Amino acid sequence: MEYEFSVGSFFIGLLILAAGVAFVRWHQVIADNFGGGVGSYDRYKLWAFITCGVGLVVMVNLHVVFLTWFFSNFFPHP
């Protein structure tokens, strides 16, 4: 599989990254309103950083490479 840069994936990844950064910034407020409060701060912060990582992967269009590799393990091409 050859790597190919995609402008669309870059902007979608940028939006995901912006949402992840906002999630990191306000994880305590979100945990207070939607989660269990102080006890879930670390869990919400972890998911916020995972969102940032996914945004970075999508920005550089590596999600296609990862998904191709993953599904080729289960559905080999003849």
Inter-CA distances, 9 with 23, 26, 61, 62, 71, Å: 21, 25, 6, 10, 20
Cα–Cα dist 31/53, whole Å: 20
Summarize pLDDT for 24-61 with one digit per residue, the tens. Answer: 999 899 898 888 777 789 999 999 999 999 999 999 98
Report percent pLDDT > 70 for the chain: 97
User: Which DSSP symbol is given to 39?
Assistant: G
Q: How far is C-alpha 44 from the chain's CA centre?
A: 14
- Quote the pTM value: 0.81
Residue among 41, 39, 54, 45 at smallest CA distance from 23:
45
